Homo-oligomer: A and B are copies of this chain.
Amino acid sequence: MSRDRFLSDAARVAGWIADYRERLPDLPVLARTEPGATAARLPAAPPEGPQPLEAILADLDAVIVPGLTHWNHPGFFAYFSSSSADPGVFAEFVAAALNVNAILWRTGPAATELEGRMMEWMRRFVGLPEGFHGVIQDTASSASFTALVAARERALPGTRDEGLAATGASARPVVYQSDQAHSSIDKAAVAGGIGLANVRHVPSDGRFRMRPEALEEAIRIDREGGRTPVMVTATIGTTSSTSVDPVEAIADVCAAHGIWLHVDAAYAGPAASLPELRPLFRGWERADSIVLNPHKWMMTPVDCSVLLFRDPEAFRASLALTPEYLRAEEAASNLSDIGLPLGRRFRALKLWFLFRWYGADGLRSILRRHVEMARAFRDWVERDPRFETAAPAPFSTVCFRAVPPEGGGPEDAWNRRLLAAVNARGRVFLSHTVLDGRFTLRLAIGSAWVREEDVTAARSELETVFEDMTTKGADAC
């Protein structure tokens, strides 16, 4: 492959990306496609002969783009809005070209050490004290699972060797989290052999925050039954409503009982960089492990989840294994000792590019702007009699619902219909949750690409559909 050919191909690909970005605001943000439609347009077998780059890029336009939900669309307000700004996109391009696989320090010394340094930058950025180390994982699911395996070994030493079956049913491990915690913590308990029945979903209060006295009570009952508390997960910014557990009080409970405290700040974590929001994070510095995702609210392409922790040895003791063919001469820490995967992409490059491209101050400005946009939207919801808020909105996500007009039928059905109709229009994409048993709409702001006019569009789409439903009847919309 010649230099000229590479450069001209790269220019062609960059041109495709630039074109895509230009028409992105005009594309429907939520894919307008049926299950199976894209697959039907793809051959069942690979071609035997080579095809030119032009043909591949043409099919990107013809076959793939029409079937995509566009995460970088400025009207993407669903789930947690995430985006890939330029520094991360370029870093991925470079990382793919380098193809460094930092299994061991030796197989990627600079990749290993840059990752360590970026964890330190992240620690400082979010205002955590010294004493935290970190590694990058693909997702919060993997990060929380890794933490759970370390906590499991600490609570039940020897599990690594003997397995959980040796524990016995009466001493079985138990984990705790609020009834608002993310499903990934449940999944981690399933994967780690702890079992869903041994996950205590501690009741939350009226603002969707774990009740520490209920946690204490659950632990007491389990202890009396001979069971083994393994880990408590506190969440700062739950996925459903972005509620904030009382981490300080939960940390007290964990300290009193010697239980591993894991803090899930996958979404909200980067907001700890804002002094005005820092109080929401009180107590998280007492955690044994914390997860926060730059690929959520920090404009980094998926995947980049940061796992911070106090005791690297607890992780190594639970999972590290070094076969002969991976033994190296030098004494250096290997990233793959912490976590399940052995192979490791050069993801630290994304954080390095990101921090330098924007600067810490630039990143804070963007986050602050997102918070302000969310507050403006919330204020509108509170002012408009057709809508009401459904939960506090401490970060950049607003939970709300429509109040059906006289004769509009049940609230849940009205809101489901409203959401489906808004999303079908293609200008914005919102998602939902259920709070207090009631269907609830969510608008999450967090993209590098979001503009004031996009939040205004969300508002006017909601208003338009609401009025249509009122005039024509919900079933007609």
Q: Is A318 an interface residue (CB 8 A)?
A: yes
B98 touches A163 (CB 8 A): no
Q: What separation, in Å, do the CA atoms of A341 and B340 have in the docked complex?
A: 12
Please report whether the interface of chain A is mostly helix, strand, loop or mixed according to DSSP. Answer: helix
B10 touches A110 (CB 8 A): no
A442 touches B138 (CB 8 A): no
Q: Is A196 an interface residue (CB 8 A)?
A: yes
Q: What separation, in Å, do the CA atoms of A68 and B319 have in the docked complex?
A: 26
A184 (CB) vs chain B CBs: closest residue = B342
Partner among B49, B65, B66, B325 whose Cβ is within 8 Å of the Cβ of A431: B325
A38 touches B109 (CB 8 A): yes
Most chain B CB atoms below 10 A, which of A94, A188, A349, A432: A94
Whether A325 touches B90, Cβ cut-off 8 Å, given contacts A56-B356, A191-B192, is: no
- Chain B residues with CB under 8 Å of A274's CB are none
A291 CB to closest chain B CB (Å) equals 12
Q: What separation, in Å, do the CA atoms of A70 and B68 have in the docked complex?
A: 35
Partner among B53, B110, B139 whose Cβ is within 8 Å of the Cβ of A341: B139
B101 touches A82 (CB 8 A): yes
- Chain B residues with CB under 8 Å of A55's CB are 356
Binds B, one of A113-121, A216-224, A249-257, A403-411: A113-121
Partner among B17, B162, B361 whose Cβ is within 8 Å of the Cβ of A94: B17
Whether A301 touches B96, Cβ cut-off 8 Å, given contacts A67-B113, A192-B191, A342-B139, is: yes
Q: Is A345 an interface residue (CB 8 A)?
A: yes
A162 touches B356 (CB 8 A): no
Partner among B7, B47, B110, B194 whose Cβ is within 8 Å of the Cβ of A359: B47
- Chain B residues with CB under 8 Å of A140's CB are 342-343
Partner among B51, B113, B321 whose Cβ is within 8 Å of the Cβ of A183: B321
Binds B, one of A167-175, A379-387, A464-472: A167-175
A101 CB to closest chain B CB (Å) equals 5
A197 touches B162 (CB 8 A): yes
A197 CB to closest chain B CB (Å) equals 5
Q: What separation, in Å, do the CA atoms of A305 and B349 have in the docked complex?
A: 22
Most chain B CB atoms below 10 A, which of A6, A79, A111, A120: A6
A residues 289-330 in Cβ contact with B at 8 Å: 295, 301-303, 305, 318-319, 321-326, 329-330
Contact with B along A391-431 (1 / 0, CB 8 A): 00000000000000000000000000000100000000001
B163 touches A172 (CB 8 A): yes
A124 touches B197 (CB 8 A): no
A3 (CB) vs chain B CBs: closest residue = B18
A residues 1-41 in Cβ contact with B at 8 Å: 1, 3, 6-7, 9-11, 13-18, 20-22, 30-31, 33-39
B9 touches A11 (CB 8 A): no
Whether A187 touches B121, Cβ cut-off 8 Å, given contacts A30-B106, A71-B100, is: no
Whether A64 touches B420, Cβ cut-off 8 Å, given contacts A183-B326, A340-B187, is: no
- Chain B residues with CB under 8 Å of A95's CB are 92, 301
7 more A-B residue pairs beyond the given contacts A39-B117, A182-B323, with a C-beta to C-beta distance below 8 A: A10-B11, A47-B356, A55-B356, A68-B98, A68-B100, A92-B95, A240-B323
